[in-house]
Structures are given as structure tokens and as C-alpha cells.
Amino acid sequence: MAGAGDAATLPVIDVGPLVSSGPAAAAARVAGQVQAACRDRGFFYVTGHGVPADLLTELSDASAEFFALPLADKLEIAMARGGRAWRGYFPVGAELTSGRPDQKEGLYFGTELAEDDPRVLAGIPLHGRNLFPARVPRLRPLVLDYLDALTTLGQAVLAGVALSLGLDAGYFAAGYTADPTILFRVFHYPPSRPDDDGWGVGEHTDYGLITLLAQDDSGGLQVAAPEGWIDAPPIPGTFVCNIGDMLDRLTGGWYKSTPHRVRNLSGHGRLSFPFFLDPGFTAEVPPLPDLAAAAEDGSRRWDGQDLRAFTGSYGDYLLGKVSKVFPQLSRDALS
Ligand code: OGA
Ligand code: NI
């Protein structure tokens, strides 16, 4: 397994020109870097993102305060209480990635929708109100601010992805992410013993378009690369960005959603903040014909799944995945 010294293997991209709509030439240069990163690793770091450092610091503090509460207090917002909206707290071992319980606890958030929103009234799964802990009241405004900030950043990164594919900068913002599916999680990984063969989160790919991950200084994130697993160590002030299954599908595999996993060997708790910017729930995401033709390389995916074979909306895809990672909850809440 790879260890220290890999820091340079994942590119760092300054997305400033995309965030502030700089000159077209600057955006095109960034798009070139995005293309190289997506073709090569499917993972890169972003700087120049404009998300205030204070926001993340305060969110981290409030999250740490929440996870330090007694279990009974955390269970006041257990996911079972979030019903179909699929929000709230899950304890260590409750989420199964690739069929095995993860060594992490966490909070699930998403777009905050009122009870009288038509989608909530219609009972569409994964739509609704967030559950926030009464015991850490500052978490609510921090999470809502963070959702806004990361949505803005994510749309900017997607503008770069669009340019990198020869599409208009606004391709996603005007289409798949005009009314995006937004999921946000805060994870706490307890330290794992070196002899423990369990994973904080097991090998998987992400489901949607792009993920923007903030991680604390613990390390432990690993990314599948042609030469084997490589580390994606924390770089202060950056987000880790990676491609999800829908961007893989859209490009017919020209960009691949890259498997990754986490084991926290830091000896202390690890906090991470994955934010997912995904297509609208009802959107279907067929391959772009020109790219798909260019991408035919016949290589099998890590889990044998054929992304092209799937039919249905992104919502269908997401629910299929979610019901595997939370089987019990899915039977109770979504049936
Ligand atoms: C995920 C994920 C990594 C991390 O939530 O999909 O890969 O560091 N998270 O928590
Ligand atoms: Ni992931």
C-alpha cells in the first residue's frame, strides 16, 4: 500500500477563474487542468474556491461538539425520525458500504425544504426538512450557510467540467443542476486500531456528478489509481473533488468515477464533510454520443456494474444505492 510521499500525485487546481467568472482564456486553462485530472485520476484538489475558512472552522467545532454528546442525545435526531426525507444522525456501524458496516457515525443533510413544498407533499423520497440538534443550535445556520457556499463552488467546478468536455460553461447549471439533488454529510470516524481490518468507509464510488470533500488533518482517504491505492492526504485550505457515477455515465466512461475508501489510523477521531452536487431527481442522464464513442475501452468497472445498462432517473439510481447502504431504514421509511 502506498504511504507518505504521494502528496504530489493528485493535482491541485486553482478554480478561481471559474468562481469569479474571470476571462474566458483563464477559464479555458482551468478546464484543461480539469480534463487532465478527470482523465488521469478522477480526483483533484481545488484551491481558489472562495469558501471562507472561518465557515469550515466553525462547522468543524460545532460538529465535534455534537459527536461528543452522549449517544442518547445524538439519537434525538436519529435518521428514523427523518422519515422519507432521509436526514439526521446514524450511529457507528449503521451504514453499510459495499455490504459491510462502516466504522463511522454521521449526520445526513440536504436541501432544506418546507413541509408544504409540493415535492414533500407528494412524498418524494429524500426531499424534506433537515433534522438539527437542539443541543448544538449553531449547527443549523452553519450547515445552511455551508450548503449555499458549496453549491456555488460546485456549480463553478461543474462549469469547468462542462468546458473540459467541449460544452458551454452553463451546461450543467442550466440543465442537470438547475434544480440539483444536494446531499451533505458530516462524518466522524473513531480511531481504528492498526490490527483492525474494518474500514471507516469501504471501497465505493460516489453516485452523482461531483463530490467536494473537506477533511480535517487526520488523513486516511485513499484513492484507486492504476498503480494501486494512493493517499489523498489533507492539504489545508483545499477541497478534494471527485467524479461520481453520473458524470461517468454522461461521458460514456471517458471520465471514470474513481473508487475510494477511508481508514482512520491517526489515533484520534477524524471529521470529514462530503458535499454532493448531483443531477435533479427526475433527470435521466444518457451518455453524450460523441464522448461515449470516444470512450469505448471495454474495461470493466471495479464492481462489475455497467453504468450504461441502467435505465431510469437519477432519483431511481440514488434510491437503489441508498437502500443498499441503509437496508433497514429503507424498508421502514421508503416502502
Ligand atoms: C463519501 C466519502 C470520504 C471521507 O462520503 O462518499 O467517500 O473522507 N467520504 O469521508
Ligand atoms: Ni465517496
Distance 105 CA to ligand 1 centre (A): 12
pLDDT band at 6 (very low <50, low <70, confident <90, very high): very low
Q: What one-character-per-residue DSSP string does 309-323 give? A: G--S-HHHHHHHHHH
187 lines ligand 1 (CB under 6 A): yes
Taking CA atoms only, the protein residue closest to ligand 1 atom 2 is 274
Amino acid at 270: R
Q: Give the whole-angstrom CA distance, residue 248 versus residue 307.
A: 8
Residue 296 is predicted with a pLDDT of 65
Residue-wise pLDDT for 18-54, tens only, equals: 999 889 999 999 999 999 999 999 999 999 999 999 9
Is the CB of residue 235 less than 8 Å from the CB of residue 45? yes
Q: Does the structure show a pLDDT above 80 at 2?
A: no
Q: Is 208 exposed, middle or buried (0-12, 13-18, 19+ CB in 10 A)?
A: buried
DSSP 3: -
Residue 210 is predicted with a pLDDT of 98
Q: Does the structure show a pLDDT above 50 at 8?
A: no
Q: Does the structure show a pLDDT above 70 at 125?
A: yes
Bigger pLDDT: 244 vs 326: 244
206 lines ligand 1 (CB under 6 A): yes
Residue 304 is predicted with a pLDDT of 77
Distance 22 CA to ligand 1 centre (A): 31
Q: Which atom of ligand 1 is nearest to the CA of 261?
A: 7
Q: Give the whole-angstrom CA distance, residue 1 versus residue 14.
A: 29
260 lines ligand 1 (CB under 6 A): yes
Residue-wise pLDDT for 129-172, tens only, equals: 999 999 999 999 999 999 999 999 999 999 999 999 999 999 99
pLDDT band at 297 (very low <50, low <70, confident <90, very high): low
CB atoms within 5 A of ion ligand 2 belong to 206
Distance 222 CA to ligand 1 centre (A): 10
213 lines ligand 1 (CB under 6 A): yes
- What pTM was estimated for this model as a whole? 0.94
